[in-house]
Amino acid sequence: MKKFLLSLCLFSMFMLAHAQTPVGLNQGKLLEYYQNQRFMEAWSYLDSVYGSNTEDPKAIAQLAYVSMMAGKLPQAERYYLKLNALQPTNIPVLFNLANINLRRGNDEQAKTYYKEILQLDSTNFKVYKQLAALINSPTNKEKLDYLSKANVLNPVEADVAYDLAIGLNTLEEFEKAYAVLDPAIKADSNNFVLLKARMSTCISLHQYDEALNLGKRIMGSGDSSTYVVTSVGKIAYMQNAFDQAIGYFKYLERNEMQTETSLYFTALCYQKLKNYAMASDYIQRTITESLSPNMANYYMLSGSILEQRGLIKDASLAYKKGLEYESKASLYYNLAVLNDLKMNNKVAAVRYYNLYLKSKPDTIKQREALNYARSRISELK
């Protein structure tokens, strides 16, 4: 419906812009194309009436618009460039040229058109917002400058306020971030994206009471995401409510949402409660959580490469290191073969062959390795 209304609005503007209808142009037929979003047919029809070499700005504008809506972006760009040459201060034309280049992945050219718009209108909020969006780094100075200018022009716009606050928070300019969020939240007090950003800012400013109230409000709305629950748990820890904090972190565990951060703060809470056994358990779990689940595979590959290089002792150490992360059957097998055939350590070979068999390797995929291990154990004994 929105697309139809936009199409109808633009079509009406085109009609009003020119008092006389070109000979042969059937407005009813064109309107039908617009209403049914048949833009390719609309383009073919307009091209048959105006011709592709028309110099009439109204005709070029119509052809450019239907080309863009039909997805004929190179053609649309040519029309808009032609129109821009005829009307170099036409801001809507520059916006359309920027939009076409964005859709084609040419961000740098889009920036050029946006900057041309700023030369014509230095108070254009949409341009500052779009220029900021084209820069990925949240702390990039140019991005923050664009966001700041947009925020001054429209301090209650949520997206700009949020992006600016995130950048300022990252730079540890927490008071500025708080000030940016304030008018936007007052304008939309139920915007939970803004409330999450405010909660994070309050934690950094040690405004724990406000942060806790925000966290509970967000959770009360149904948002029990890892970030929110972890943040509320951290606030409880900061307020020395260690049992309460543990309750929040345990909620994450029950729902398999725990993270390195939540486990770390759980360990801190148990330490404060002098429950050192639980504190030790959770700090070990924190260490495990912080490591890649593929560490054993990485060390197995490292050992294999070292073995191929002839660095046998180094390969053995790499395989053993991998076992610190996971009792992986393949690591036991590699160590067994390495000790058996390259290190001439028969005792160690038998031990690793037995450990390989006890690790319950896949009986189908590793059938040959299983048979080989059993036969070597018999031979070496």
Secondary structure of 4-52 in HEC code, one letter for each residue: HHHHHHHHHHHHHHCCCCCCCCCHHHHHHHHHCCCHHHHHHHHHHHHCC
| Within-domain flag for 42 | yes
Task: State whether residue 278 is helix, strand or coil.
Answer: helix
CATH number at residue 321: 1.25.40.10
Which among 69, 97, 122 is the end of a domain? 122
Which among 122, 139, 156 is the end of a domain? 122
Look at the chain and report how many structural domains it folds into: 2
pTM over the 0.95 mark: no
* pLDDT for 2 beyond 50: no
Pair of tokens at residue 365: 């995929």
| Within-domain flag for 92 | yes
- 162-202 tens-digit pLDDT: 999 999 999 999 999 999 999 999 999 999 999 999 999 99
Residue type, 273: L
C-alpha separations of 165 from 134, 144, 202 in Å? 17, 10, 12
- Is residue 93 within 8 A of residue 63, CB to CB? The reply is no
Q: Residue 210 has what pLDDT?
A: 97
C-alpha separations of 239 from 193, 243, 252 in Å? 24, 11, 20
Give residue 361's domain range.
299-380
Q: Residue 20 has what pLDDT?
A: 43
| Within-domain flag for 163 | no
Closest CA to 236 of 247, 226, 244, 228: 244
- 304-345 tens-digit pLDDT: 999 999 999 999 999 999 998 888 999 999 999 999 999 999
| Within-domain flag for 247 | no
